[in-house]
Amino acid sequence: MFRALESVPPSMRKDNPEFRARDLALHGMFGRERFCSVCAVLDRDAAPCWPLSMPSHHAWHKVRAVRLALLEGVTPADEARGSPSIAKSP
């Protein structure tokens, strides 16, 4: 599921109900609800945008570690296949 969601272009993620539902399901697999944290494994930011004093700053590093581990499991062949069914959703 991560591979499919990661392959969706950022411009196709906003206002895409299927993408949103699968994003929430992905986070549920990790025992985290997307609504309780502003950090997500699909975030591509290179660094947290919150100051060091905020809990979200520290949460970003934990979520980033999960993202990097997931990306290690995605091969170039996987990325080439992508997920056209999600990418074409309105």
Q: What pLDDT, on the 0 to 100 scale, is given for residue 46?
A: 92
**Sorting pLDDT into bands at 50, 70 and 90, what band is 78?**
low
This prediction has a pTM of 0.70
Q: How far is CA 32 from CA 1, 67, 90, in A?
A: 16, 14, 26
Q: Which residue has the tokens 């990790």?
A: 30
**Sorting pLDDT into bands at 50, 70 and 90, what band is 83?**
very low
Domain segments of the chain as ranges: 2-87
pLDDT tens across 6-62, in order? 999 989 998 899 999 998 888 888 776 554 567 888 999 999 999 999 988 988 998
Report how far residue 47's alpha carbon sits from residue 53's, in angstroms, rounded to the nearest whole number. Answer: 15
Residue 42 CB contacts under 8 Å (≥ 6 apart), including other chains: 2, 5, 6, 13, 23, 26, 67
